[in-house]
Amino acid sequence: MVAMMLYDRNTGELVALRTVSRETFARISEENLELQCISVEKTILAEIEKCQPMDIACVKISGEKEIELLRYMRSSYEQLEILIIADKDISPMKYLTPDIRAASLLLAPYKEKDCQTVMKDFLQSFFQGREQLDEKKVLVITNREGKITIPYHQVYYIEIRERKVFIRLRDKEYSLYDSLEHMLEKLPEMFVRCHRSFVFNTQHLDAVKLSENTVYLTHGITVPLSRSYKPAIKEYIHGLCE
């Protein structure tokens, strides 16, 4: 599955862009597309705050407000692929910058054929680049939703229950048929086991309360700490303090 976000304050343009995006994606890939069409900036900010998955973003720039939004999006999603649609009277020097790192550009106003061509090239480049992603930065899984690429920093913990593996993000969960032992073989060192059924991402570690047998992660998320894994967690915490 690929998570794509379209932003344009003009709802008419947004509807047309949605049609081009869906049709072009369907011709290029058999993966599922999770498409969000947004015309209000606050909605995007809320999605980012919730750490919602976002692989691709197509943003219409009408002024400084959208440029600042793009900077914020880039700082929040390192692997995000960005297509900018910019008014011709806005200088490219304002948005073709290292802190935004746009992958493609479409100047407005544009013809539908131009939009289709740019979108096709943009999506093809996205899929080619994803195949070459550093495996140390992303987790790639396949389930009923298709192939899903998840940046490791978005994962809070991984749990095994009901003979399935559940990957917990802040406000979303993915599941697949696998074993925790097999998952551990490919997870980087930032993931630590604290229970026979739980592995957590130390990047989100907030506190460990041994008396409560609980590991506290950021945003109020908790995972259990079993007696057999307490020594390993104590040693890990001790290493952080050295």
Task: Give pLDDT, residue 160.
Answer: 95
pTM value surpassing 0.85: no
Burial of 78 from C-beta contacts in 10 A (0-12 / 13-18 / 19+): exposed
**How many CB atoms sit inside 10 A of residue 126's CB?**
20
Task: Give pLDDT, residue 223.
Answer: 97
Task: Give pLDDT, residue 168.
Answer: 95
Query: What homologous superfamily is domain 138-241 in, according to CATH?
Result: LytTr DNA-binding domain (2.40.50.1020)
For residue 59, give the amino acid letter. V
| Stretch(es) of the chain classified as CATH 2.40.50.1020 | 138-241
Task: Give pLDDT, residue 66.
Answer: 94
Task: Give pLDDT, residue 226.
Answer: 95
Please, which residues have CB within 8 angstroms of residue 138's CB and are 6 or more apart in sequence? 79, 149, 150, 151, 152
Calculate the alpha carbon distances from 131 to 89, 125, 126, 204 in Å: 36, 10, 9, 27
| Stretch(es) of the chain classified as CATH 3.40.50.2300 | 2-131
Task: Give pLDDT, residue 167.
Answer: 96
For residue 11, give the amino acid letter. T
**How many CB atoms sit inside 10 A of residue 164's CB?**
13
Task: Give pLDDT, residue 164.
Answer: 93
- Over residues 20-43, the pLDDT tens digits come to 999 999 999 988 899 999 999 999
Q: Mean pLDDT in runs of 10 for the chain (242 residues)? A: 93 95 94 92 88 89 93 90 94 93 94 95 90 72 82 92 92 90 90 95 93 93 95 84 62
CATH of segment(s) 2-131: 3.40.50.2300
Task: Give pLDDT, residue 151.
Answer: 84
Task: Give pLDDT, residue 41.
Answer: 92
The rounded radius of gyration (Å) of the Cα atoms in the chain is: 20
Task: Give pLDDT, residue 35.
Answer: 95
